[in-house]
Amino acid sequence: MVKVKRKPLEEIAESVKGYTKILNVGCGGCVSVCLAGGQREVKTTNAELTLLFEEKGINSRVDGYTVERQCNAACLEELDDLVVRYDCLLSMACGAGVQMLAERYPSKPVFPAQNTVAIGVDREIGVYEEKCRACGRCVLAYTGGIWIPCAWNDIYIRLKQQNRLDDIKKIHLAMEWQNSTPRTIVQPQYEHLYAKEEK
């Protein structure tokens, strides 16, 4: 599922500044499941925005409507008649939903109300673990379905535990990789045993 985090209210308000009739469009997909951008969150955001507009003496009105999925054109059809009545659109979906709205309604400014942060899985209720960076060249077929952990992440965690984070900042020369072919190592104390053979 795509994970999002709502932008600060002030930032959302700033983006729609100057528009009188605003339609906040929610998404019933990923963002609804993780309680970030569905019908309920549209309602909450709109209530907070309305309060902010009142406090600042801004004469704007924000309404809400939630579609099943904002990234699907067929799901946007029901919005067509509604959108014409508004000056701009806010989107509570992920970046894909925002772009879909912008593509379908090119005459309307579309503003994101969310920061899209990750593609992840549910670990606990409300706890999501990032699992994919959408790199476009998936290697999971060769890694047993495991997303390759980053050694530097583990190094950072270990050094932090040991209060040794300064070590991670030290610059080291590039490795010469002398051991790229198998070597035989003789301890100096035993060199005399093999000195003949080496000559």
CB-wise, 60 or 83, nearer to ligand SF4? 83
**Three-class SS state of 102:** helix
CB-wise, 60 or 70, nearer to ligand SF4? 70
- Burial-class residue 92 by CB neighbours within 10 Å (0-12, 13-18, 19+): buried
Instruction: For residues 31 and 24, give the distance between their C-alpha atoms in angstroms, rounded to a whole number.
Output: 14
Question: Shortest approach of ligand SF4 to residue 136 CB, angstroms?
Answer: 7
CB-wise, 51 or 121, nearer to ligand SF4? 121
Q: Which residues bind ligand SF4 (CB under 6 A)?
A: 2, 27, 29-31, 69-71, 93-94, 96-97, 132-135, 138-140, 147
- Burial-class residue 67 by CB neighbours within 10 Å (0-12, 13-18, 19+): buried
Question: Shortest approach of ligand SF4 to residue 53 CB, angstroms?
Answer: 26
Which amino acid does the sequence have at 105?
A: Y
CB-wise, 148 or 174, nearer to ligand SF4? 148
CB-wise, 140 or 193, nearer to ligand SF4? 140
Beta pairing partners, 116: 4
Question: Shortest approach of ligand SF4 to residue 51 CB, angstroms?
Answer: 26
CB-CB contact of 51 with 10 (8 Å): no
Question: Shortest approach of ligand SF4 to residue 141 CB, angstroms?
Answer: 9
Instruction: For residues 31 and 2, give the distance between their C-alpha atoms in angstroms, rounded to a whole number.
Output: 7
Question: Shortest approach of ligand SF4 to residue 164 CB, angstroms?
Answer: 30
